[in-house]
């Protein structure tokens, strides 16, 4: 099965169909061509790359079959109106331009919908019905909701997250960041990067969905020294228990082991702290209750302190 990358087309249509037909599915990229295709059924998912046109042409007489699958009308440029020009060029280069080649190679055509089947009936199009994805147990969420000012901290954290996900596959990691952060975490299975949000949007986002462990690393830098402990509020409001950097403002209000964990900025220590919480959901629930109580107490203390900010007698006429 030849695909640009892991994708919904393969997941919903081809993997279930090919598995049901009794085949052993070998997944290849557009540039990844096995040395010998003898006896194989080659399934081209949406696209035909130059590497695969050469390989299929060379081995065609020795293939057990050749199939082209599409779940959009990638062969007819007249249907692409309204799509970005870069995408149209990609469809032309990797699909529509290969229509004649597919015909010459006698490729079978599989499609995803009745309209596509009817449109390409003369080419012998066969309909592939989708199957639902296998149900999986819900994954626990580890997160660090950073901003652009947290660049050094998010870079420091990446090796820790990589090791956590390697030993705890039932967990995933969520962070917020730009393209630089996305590149940093690209290829890390179970990690995703959310585009930066405005403050009003973030407030809703942070309380949507289940989150379990929040992270607040903080390297010793001049910029970080002036930070407040609002990360404690953010993490608790998200319904999670936090791991906080020792020496930070958060560490000054968090009681280690009671309403969060306070850990030195040592990667091994952070790995152990995260895994300790990950493996003990009952402890997390007890700590979350304590953290919520702490936020209410801090709110009361803040309200009392507001009265000292200024008095009416200080207002100048």
Q: Does domain 140-305 have CATH number 3.40.50.2000?
A: yes
Band the pLDDT of 317: cuts 50, 70, 90. very low
pLDDT higher than threshold 80 for residue 311: no
User: Is pLDDT larger for residue 197 or for residue 209?
Assistant: 197
Q: What is the mean pLDDT of the chain?
A: 92
- Three-state SS across the chain? CECCCCCHHHHHHHHHHHHHCCCCCCCECCCCCCCCCCCCEEEEECCCCHHHHHHHHHHHHHCCEEEEEECCCCCCHHHCCCCCHHHHHHHHHHCHHHHHHHHHCCCEEEECCHHHHHHCHHHCCEECCCCCCCCCCCCEEEEECCCHHHHHHHHHHHHHHHHHHHHCCCEEEEEECCHHHHHHHCCCCCEEEECCCCHHHHHHHHCCCCCCEEEECCCCCCCHHHCCCHHHHHHHHCCCEEEEECCCHHHHHCCECCCEEEECCCHHHHHHHHHHHHCCHHHHHHHHHHHHHHHHHHHHHHHHHHCCCCCHHHCCC
Domain locations along the chain: 8-127, 140-305
Band the pLDDT of 107: cuts 50, 70, 90. very high
pLDDT in the model for residue 207: 86
pLDDT digits (tens, 9 = 90+) for 154-208: 999 999 999 999 999 999 999 998 899 999 999 898 999 999 889 889 888 888 8
pLDDT digits (tens, 9 = 90+) for 142-154: 999 988 778 889 9
């Amino acid at each position: 099965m030849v695909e640009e990358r892991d994708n919904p087309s393969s997941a919903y249509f081809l993997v279930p169909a090919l598995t049901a037909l009794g085949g052993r599915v070998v997944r290849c990229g557009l540039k990844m061509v096995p040395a010998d295709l003898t006896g194989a059924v080659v399934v081209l998912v949406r696209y035909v790359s130059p590497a695969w046109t050469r390989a299929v042409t060379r081995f065609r007489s020795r293939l057990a079959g050749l199939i082209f699958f599409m779940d959009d009308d990638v062969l007819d440029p007249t249907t692409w109106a309204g799509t970005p020009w870069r995408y149209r060029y990609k469809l032309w280069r990797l699909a529509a331009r290969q229509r004649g080649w597919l015909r010459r190679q006698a490729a079978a055509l599989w499609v995803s919908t009745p309209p596509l089947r009817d449109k390409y009936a003369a080419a012998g199009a066969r309909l592939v019905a989708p199957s639902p994805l296998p149900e999986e147990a819900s994954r626990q969420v580890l997160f660090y909701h950073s901003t652009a000012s947290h660049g050094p901290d998010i870079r420091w954290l990446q090796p820790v997250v990589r090791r956590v996900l390697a030993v705890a596959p039932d967990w995933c990691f969520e962070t917020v960041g730009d393209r630089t952060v996305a590149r940093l975490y690209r290829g890390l299975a179970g990690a995703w990067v959310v585009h930066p949000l405005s403050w009003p949007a973030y407030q809703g986002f942070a309380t949507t969905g289940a989150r379990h462990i929040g992270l607040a690393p903080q390297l010793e830098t001049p910029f970080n020294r002036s930070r407040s402990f609002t990360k404690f509020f953010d993490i608790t409001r998200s319904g999670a228990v936090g791991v906080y950097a020792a020496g930070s403002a958060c560490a000054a209000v968090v009681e280690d082991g009671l309403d969060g964990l306070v850990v030195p900025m040592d990667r091994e220590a952070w790995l152990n702290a995260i895994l300790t919480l990950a493996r003990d959901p009952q402890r997390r629930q007890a700590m979350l209750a304590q953290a919520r109580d702490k936020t209410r107490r801090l709110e009361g203390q803040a309200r009392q302190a507001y009265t000292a900010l200024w008095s009416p007698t200080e207002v100048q006429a």
